Amino acid sequence: QAFTELQAKVLDTQQKVKLADLQIEQLSKTKKHAHLTDTEVMMLVDETRMYEGVGRMFILQPKGVIHNQLLEKQRIAEEKIKELEQKKSYLERSVKEAEDNIREMLMARRAQ
């Protein structure tokens, strides 16, 4: 019974690792998109009229506000990526420990 519990734990943890990978990939795309947008925005003259999409409408915003929002978006994505990478490394260690326990149980059974 302990063997099946360990197997279930390994499978569950592996799924969580895959989910973390997907989330990291998505956040990396978001960060890159914000960076590229910010690069393009900074090339425009300061008098350019810029609009921020809010729901189904657009609000006129100064260039500085748009720039700050894009930088904030990049910073938040970076923080979340770091958190997810830490969580992923913890989960990977957990998987390794569970696999080692399974191996030990199998060796103990073979020895009997």
CATH code where residue 39 lies = 1.10.287.370
From the DSSP assignment, how many helices (H) and strands (E) are in the chain? 2, 2
Predicted local distance difference test score (pLDDT) of residue 68: 96
Q: Which residues of the chain have pLDDT under 70?
A: none
Tokens found for residue 99: 């696999």
3-class secondary-structure state, position 1: coil
The count of domains in the chain is 1
Percentage of residues of the chain with pLDDT beyond 70: 99
Q: Which long-range contacts (CB under 8 A, 24 or more apart) does 45-50 make?
A: none
Supply the range of the domain harboring residue 102: 1-111
Q: Tell me the whole-structure pTM to 2 decimals.
A: 0.80
Residues 91 and 17 sit within 8 Å (Cβ to Cβ): yes
pLDDT the model gives residue 26? 97
